[in-house]
Amino acid sequence: MSSYDYIIVGAGSAGCVLANRLSEDPNNSVLLLETGGSDKSIFIQMPTALSIPMNTDKYAWQFHSEPEPYLDNREMHCPRGKVLGGSSSINGMVYVRGHAEDFEEWEACGAKGWGYQKCLPYFKRAESWYLGGDTHRGGSGPLGVNNGNEMQNPLYRAFIKAGEQAGYPITNDYNAAQQEGFGPMHMTVKGGKRCSAARAYLDPVKDRDNLTILTHVRVHKILMDGKRAVGVSYRKDGNMHEARTDNNVILSAGSIGSPQLLQHSGIGDAEHLKSVGIECVHNLPGVGENLQDHLEFYFQYRCKKPITINGKLDWFSKGIIGAKWFFFKKGLGTTNHFESCAFIRSKAGVKWPDMQYHFMPAAIRYDGKSAFDGHGFQVHVGHNKPKSRGFVKVQSADPEQAPKIQFNYLKAQEDIEGFRACVRLTREIIDQSAFDEYRDSEIQPGEEVKTDEEIDAFVRKAVESAYHPSCTCKMGEDEMAVVDSQTRVRGLEGLHVVDSSIFPTIPNGNLNGPTIMVAEKAADMILGNPPLPEEDVPVIEDSNWESQQRSNQL
């Protein structure tokens, strides 16, 4: 048994940030516990190989949902990082902060002090934007962010031009003043390599004398003394161990792992815990509830010209790409291939974007397989502000049994209508003249899919998770809130949760950026540091949002 000032459970996007920031003071002893192991695999470090670690048991928890009742009872894949860097080591590396209004929404939900002007300084502290820092962007933070290969493939710019022709605005930086519009996409890549939270935050400090990193560890339980967390018990090499703290236990195990560990420690809904044979230590009914995720589907077209990545899927071409990356860190190996994107509103009356596009000059699945012979391109599209809510619940007192996960995707009628808009608006965009020299027949959904009923059936069959589970230990003040605005578990002492599970609502965009920001801000709170000064910066929105769905004059 050992004692530390801070015990962090989970070396993912948030845990790596906390390990770095909490150990900056040499007087603080910090223990970081991670179930997975090293992140040094070439398949993790090479951006173009992103589909491999996500689908590898060694690097990811291969969770699946229960049959989803509103998706034709499909069981949905929900991989989560099980490696240093967590999901930032297996994700698509897309960097999106979210819209400013997403964080105002958090504040309105009871997360006091988490409005956009208060979060922006922490986004900037985290980031090293490859074009340099400015009013909105950070220039010297640990996390490298760029645009991959600078949209060398002409299809990227055709997508942006098509959006403009369809009446949408252009945005040169959706992470700055204006999210809404079409423009280049950003990724967490630095020097041609994946810039995960482990690479950005952990690698530079892993040799600090006051930081202990234990891998291949399975935490079973938070140790409690009354209403105070005093340590954790964990299994390593087949033996059980304990680590103690006089200060704080911090859960950063993610939106599946954190509520799972709370429940196994007797913290959660008392009736559910009793039903699975766990003694309730602290009744907190919101633990595991409020589960939210992004769904998306691929809109795919055949391409008239042989310029797509589908022509690079043979072993010889892959070998050339791999060699160029291995020796020079250049070429197609350095990108996730999502180099242009868009954020738009699905209808008039929506104040800020609720739809997101990732454009790729290939027609290919996440597992790296092509669905057809020949050249094609695709755009991933999703309705990003879902109303449907699910849950994560432990199924027994066995801490190593996977929890029950139910998303309830498309339960809400608003979500169904949002995906109808995704189909119709996307077709309109791709039908613009910018694509005339490239666009051939529609592969998916297929030109025959037109009516509401046909679109709904297609979506239920084809939609996939964007791998953004969140909000299961939400921050706020109501009876279903799990943590307060200081990230402390409500009603307990010495216990924090810091990861995407504490989001009150899911932002419009990928979650790695906001998760890192949350950890940066929480680190100051836990250390008792004054918050960074808030920054009053311009935010550009459509002043006519109540009456129009799009405007190219923002």
pLDDT mean by block of 10 residues, the chain; 554 residues: 93 98 98 98 96 95 98 98 98 98 98 98 98 96 94 97 98 97 98 98 98 98 97 97 96 98 98 98 98 96 95 90 94 96 98 98 76 88 98 97 98 98 98 98 95 98 97 97 98 98 98 98 98 96 97 90
Rounded to whole angstroms, the maximal C-alpha distance in the chain is 69
Would you say 219 is a known binding-site residue? yes
Question: What is the reported pLDDT for 313?
Answer: 85
Q: Identify the burial level of 466 via C-beta atoms within 10 angstroms of its C-beta, where 0-12 means exposed, 13-18 middle and 19 or more buried.
A: buried
Residue 495's nearest CA partner among 275, 281, 291 is: 281
Residue 448's nearest CA partner among 440, 457, 438, 439 is: 457
Question: What is the reported pLDDT for 370?
Answer: 62
* CATH class of the domain defined by 2-527: alpha beta
Would you say 92 is a known binding-site residue? yes
- How far apart (Å, rounded) are the C-alpha atoms in residues 393 and 540? 40
Q: With a threshold of 0.75, does the pTM exceed it?
A: yes
Written as six digits, the tokens of 167 are 């009446």
- Angle subtended by helix axes 100-108 and 116-126, to nearest 10: 130
Question: What is the reported pLDDT for 372?
Answer: 75
Would you say 281 is a known binding-site residue? no
Angle at 400 (CA atoms; ends 510, 256), nearest 5 degrees: 20
Give strand ranges (E) for 304-393: 340-344, 355-360, 376-383, 390-393
Question: What is the reported pLDDT for 2?
Answer: 87
- How far apart (Å, rounded) are the C-alpha atoms in residues 34 and 14? 12
Written as six digits, the tokens of 412 are 């809400």
For residue 356, list its beta bridge partners: 343, 382
Show which residues are catalytic. 468
Would you say 408 is a known binding-site residue? no
Would you say 517 is a known binding-site residue? no
Residue with structure tokens 């077709």? 427
Judge if the upstream peptide bond of residue 445 is cis by omega within 30 degrees of 0: yes
Written as six digits, the tokens of 545 are 């949002």
Would you say 94 is a known binding-site residue? yes
Written as six digits, the tokens of 463 are 């939609």
Q: What radius of gyration, in Å, describes the C-alpha atoms of the chain?
A: 23
Question: What is the reported pLDDT for 148?
Answer: 87
For residue 144, list its beta bridge partners: 128
Question: What is the reported pLDDT for 85?
Answer: 98
Could you tell me the residue ranges of all domains in the chain?
Answer: 2-527
